[in-house]
Each structure stands twice: as C-alpha cells, then as structure tokens.
Amino acid sequence: MTTTTSSEMNHETFSDRSKTITQQGNIRELAWLPVIDASGRRLVGLDELFSTAHLIERIDVRAPIEKAGVLRFLTTVTALIVRAQGVTKRSAGAVVTDGFAPAAIKQALDAIDDRLWLIHATTPFMQEGRYAAATSVVKTAASIRSTSPGDSTKAWWGRPGDGFATGNVLFEDAPAVLMGFWFYSLNNNSAVVLDGVPLPMQGSAAGKVKAAGVRLWKGGENLAATLLMNTPQQWAKGSELPAWAQTLQTSGHLDPFVAATITGNATLLLADEIDGEIIFTGAHIGSVLRRGIPPTAADHAAVQAAKSRNKAAITANRTLAVGELPTPAETLPELGVDALKASLMDAWRKDPQIVLRKPDPKKKGPQKDEDIRALNDVHAGTSVLHNLRAWYLRAFNPDVPGQASILVRDEFTVELFSIQMDQKGSYGELTGASWLSMPPGTVGGSPEVQAALTKFADYAYERVRSALYTAIRAVLHDDGPVGATHNDALSRFSFLADGVVTEVIAVSLRGEAFTSVHVKSWTNAAINAFDEAIEPYASARRLPDIAAARHKLIQTLHKTESEK
C-alpha cells in the first residue's frame, strides 16, 4: 500500500488546479493591503492604493518584516510611476496634495502586470514558477513567514501560539508574506532540487548577519509623501525594471534599481481549495539564483580556459631558469551565481534606509562593518529609548538618509525598523524585528532639540546600562549568564520607561529640559527591571549579594538624580 504525504497531496492538488487555472489573484485588484484612511482600516489593491495614496494616512501591516517588505516593494512601484509621470523634486509636492496621475499609474502597472499574479503558469508574483517541477520536500506555506520571536516588549509579533504564526497562508495575506521573504529572508541549509541540482537558500541582501541593524524610514502627512520621501531619484532614472519584475540574464548587474531589489531566495507557494476558498498550504523554498543570473555556457568555458592556463603556468614555472619571473595564477572568472552572492553580501551598504556613520578621523585604515553602520547595536530590548541612545551617543550625528529621494522634507515622522540576527555556524538566525516611531524633530531637528535629546539619552540609558551591568555582575559573578541577564534587564527597563520616554521627547521638542521628576521615573523603572531580571536566580545563598547589589544600584541611580 502506497502512502501519500500531505506535502505530496498539496503538490498534486496544485498541479491538477494549474491545468485549469493559469493565473489568479492579481494584486492590482485583489484587496490584500490594509491601510488607514478617513474611513478607518480597510483592504485595497495596488490600483486603488496608488490612485488614493494622497488620501491614505499609512499602511497597517502587522508583522515587522512584512511591513518592511511591503514598503520596499511599494517604493519600487513608486519609482516606476514617477518615471512614467515625469515627477521631479520640484513637482513632487503637487503629487502629495493631488495624487499620482491615473495614466502614469496604469502605464507603470501595465508594464509589470504579468508579474503581479499570485498564481501564474510561468511568472507567479515574487516566486519561482519552475519549482512546480522540483523534487524536494514541500514545506508549510508559513515557513517563508519571518515572524519575530521573543516575549519581552510590545514590539514583537508572531510568537508561537498567538494565532499569527500558523501553518497555512491565506490568499490575501500572501503578497505581504512574499514581499517580506523576498527582501528580508535569511540563508540556511534548506534547499530544493531543480533540474537535478540542489539549490540552497542564499539569503537576501538584508538577510545577512552583517546587515542586521536599524533602517530609518521617513513618514509624511499621507502615504504619497511617505513613499516619495523613501524612493531614491536614481531608481526612477533609466528604463530598468526592479529585479522581482524581470528575469535577469547578465552577471554582476550594476544598475542601482536592480541591485537594490534582487534576492538570493525564491519560493513557490502551493495552493489548495478548502471550503471553496483558495489557501496556500505548502511551499518550495530555495535559491532564486538559477532564474536570476544563470551562468551561460560561455561562463563555464571561460572558467575552464582559465584553469587550463593556470595549470600550464604551474608546469612552466617548475622549469624556470635562475632569475626568470614565474607566471602568476589568474583569478578565475566568477560565474553568475558567484557574482550575485558577492553582490548580496555588500548590497546592504547601499540600502536607501541604512544609516551610515560619518568617518571617524581618529581611525586609520579600512572601516569595519560595525564602524560603518550608525544604528547597529540592537537586540531584544530595542525601543525608542534604545534607538535614541544609539543615534545620539554612537552615531556621531550622521546625515539623515533620504537626501537623494524624490521628495525631501525637513519635517517627518521617524520610523525605525530594527532587524536582529545571530550567527549560527555559516547561517543566520532571526532573533527579532520591530517598528518604532518617533515624532517629527526627534532626528534632524533644531540643534537645541538635538542637544537636549543627547543629554537625555546619556542620562536615561547609558548610565542605567552601566549601573545595571555592575549590579547583575555583583550577583552572578562568573557562575551565571551575566550578558543575557543584563539584556533582559535592559529590555524590561526600556518597556517600563516607555511612558517617561514619550513625555521627555515631547518636552524636548518644545525646547524645554527634562526634570528631576522624569529622572526619578526612569530610576524606578531601572530598579524594577533589576528586580525582575535577577528574580530567577534568587536563592538563600545569593540573597545577601542581591541585597547589596540592589542597594549599590539605588545609590548610583540616586547620585545620577542629584546631578540633574
């Protein structure tokens, strides 16, 4: 008796359906994207979204990585519409007020229409259609959903058991899931077998551990302003389509629009019909490289020829006379896959939302990755306070991203997207992602406001961070996880201090200084955070150390209060 697995059943169902349904679910008309406007929260497709972008307040995607993926996708479409309409920096303000031109929206979306179908015989949206013939095991559809593990702050979503991280993917949820996977997926040892070749996941440009950190998005008075403020002018130049909307044929493609939208990963969602509703129940996952930049026969021939010349050179070098110089070995030409891998490793440096530090004149020689990124010190405790500290105390006041955008504004809401990853062998592991907002003026405002917030960040974070570490180390010594417990305490402190942080930012933006009342509030938050973080290690043996450490922590924090 032959047993049919659920994966095989899903694959078989999809194959049967594909014989009669060649395409379905065009995201131009499918109501999939949640937005907030004057009528409240509703779902729209791309046509309606761009037609009414000047009347929409913002998108309302729930999962952090999917929200980032959706925004990145929308800016790529914005670039195509701007190109069709001929929008310039001078005319961008009129778009914010009156909206995009209907003819330009239609022209841009018509040009990529065959790439906007969730189910399509050859070019399904942000998927690899050839995976229908793959021989690998089918995973659950939700395996491409990058949820955010953790349980310590309000910024986390997708924890197991919260009703969000399920095995299937609803039809209207699929576009955002695919966008998050395309732009922010990690590399790992999962693979599909296509044409007899195993294709492991390579990771997206932002899915590298070295690319972890904070991206800054600017928020405007409506969605049109937000999209224009985050879309580089360079993307609207030329005639190239974003990488997700075409099949690339050359290695080492240098067009900035293509380079910013390429990925190392691909998937094919497998559909089933349950109670008359189409639901994605499975997925192939692997590398997009075979479709993206395939090595040609000429590529392989060039590599073999170089290898032959190197072999001949080695033989000739063995018989050199005294004084004759040896023939150096050639560097082998990169195949398409290798060229794309290399570009993905460093693509994060040109991310339009990345915040780069100004060069430190005291440091000589090449800068390390951690010296280049301004906002890279993030972990489970990320919060408004944490990012204020990173911006003002570690970033050397870098230029705000977006000066090369289609729309440049001095006043904007600061949206910080944090993505945290850990290195696990040769692969990355997502440890968290979050979105946090700060009001206009918090970053890039007047010098007086920036000075006030710098002082606040020093008082409210840097000194607390140091004092908490000293107190926890005094209790655990070397026989406990000092670093992890310290992170837990900082995370809890950030949460408990959330209210006072919001209040102090508002005070600073009014040009006023924070008061001793504010200092006492975050001092109490720090003491409570210490109590909660150290509680799991409380024992009769440690109680004296806990009491002494707590007393010293209170003294240190109260001393900070008196300095105010």
SS3 152: coil
Residue-wise over 377-407: b if at least 16 C-beta within 10 A, else e? Answer: bbbbbbbbbbbbbbbbeebeebebbbeebbb
For residue 562, pLDDT over 60 is answered with no
pLDDT value for 312: 92
pLDDT value for 339: 61
Backbone angles phi, psi at 39, to 5 degrees: -90, -5
Question: Identity (one letter) of the amino acid at 40?
Answer: G
User: How many Cβ atoms are within 10 Å of 562's Cβ, its own excluded?
Assistant: 8
Question: Tokens 């907002």 belong to which residue?
Answer: 437
SS3 287: strand
Q: Domain boundaries in the chain? A: 6-292, 297-334, 446-563
Could you tell me which residues come within 8 angstroms of residue 18 by beta carbon, excluding any fewer than 6 positions away?
119, 121, 132
pLDDT value for 397: 57
Check if the beta carbon of residue 371 is closer than 8 Å to that of residue 360.
yes
Give mean pLDDT, residues 539-550: 90
Which of 130, 83, 104, 118 has the alpha carbon at shortest distance from 247? Answer: 130
For residue 155, pLDDT over 90 is answered with no
- The arrangement of secondary structure in 446-563, i.e. its CATH architecture, is Orthogonal Bundle (1.10)
Residue scoring higher pLDDT (188 or 308) = 308
Question: Tokens 């070397």 belong to which residue?
Answer: 478
For residue 259, pLDDT over 90 is answered with no
Confidence of residue 242 (pLDDT cuts 50, 70, 90): very high
pLDDT value for 342: 66
d(CA 335, CA 178): 27
Q: Which of 73-87, 97-111, 248-262, 456-470 has the lowest mean pLDDT?
A: 248-262
For residue 479, pLDDT over 70 is answered with no
d(CA 386, CA 388): 5
Assigned token pair, 521: 């509030």
Residue scoring higher pLDDT (255 or 326) = 326
pLDDT value for 134: 85
Q: Which residue(s) pair with 242 in the sheet?
A: none
pLDDT value for 410: 82
For residue 250, pLDDT over 60 is answered with no
pLDDT value for 394: 64
Percent pLDDT > 70 in the chain is 81
Give residue-wise pLDDT tens across range 360-407. Answer: 677 777 777 767 777 766 554 556 666 676 677 666 555 677 778 999
pLDDT value for 297: 61
pLDDT value for 10: 42
d(CA 157, CA 66): 11
Give residue-wise pLDDT tens across range 493-529. Answer: 877 888 888 888 888 888 888 888 888 888 899 999 9
Confidence of residue 338 (pLDDT cuts 50, 70, 90): low
For residue 294, pLDDT over 60 is answered with no
pLDDT value for 217: 92
Q: What is the mean pLDDT of the chain?
A: 81
pLDDT value for 563: 56
| pTM for this prediction | 0.80
Helices 463-476 and 543-563: angle between axes, nearest 10 degrees:
160
pLDDT value for 295: 56
Question: Identity (one letter) of the amino acid at 138?
Answer: V
Question: Tokens 């991206």 belong to which residue?
Answer: 215
Q: How many CA atoms lie within 13 A of 550 on its CB side?
A: 17
pLDDT value for 477: 82
For residue 560, pLDDT over 70 is answered with no
Concatenate the DSSP letters of all residues of 17-72 into one string.
HHTT-SEEEETTTS--EEEEETTEEEEE-HHHHHHTGGGEEEE---SHHHHHHHHH
Which of 272, 77, 257 has the alpha carbon at shortest distance from 174? Answer: 272
Q: Which residue(s) pair with 34 in the sheet?
A: 43
Query: Which 3-state string (H, E, C) describes 307-373?
Result: HHHHHHHHHHHCCCCCCCCCCCCCCCCCCHHHHHHHHHHHHHHHCCCECECCCCCCCCCCCCHHHHE
Q: How far is CA 455 from the centre of its chain?
A: 30
pLDDT value for 424: 75
SS3 183: helix
pLDDT value for 62: 82
Assigned token pair, 294: 């395939």
Give residue-wise pLDDT tens across range 214-237. Answer: 888 999 999 999 999 999 999 999
For residue 321, pLDDT over 80 is answered with yes
Query: Which 3-state string (H, E, C) describes 207-222?
Result: HCHHHCEEEEEEECCC
Give mean pLDDT, residues 436-460: 80
Confidence of residue 471 (pLDDT cuts 50, 70, 90): very high
DSSP 161: T
Task: Name the most confidently modeled range: 415-419, 452-456, 522-526.
Answer: 522-526
SS3 497: coil
pLDDT value for 18: 40
Query: Which 3-state string (H, E, C) describes 171-199?
Result: HHHHHHHHHHHHHHCCEEEEEEEECCEEE
For residue 320, pLDDT over 50 is answered with yes
pLDDT value for 4: 34
Confidence of residue 156 (pLDDT cuts 50, 70, 90): very low
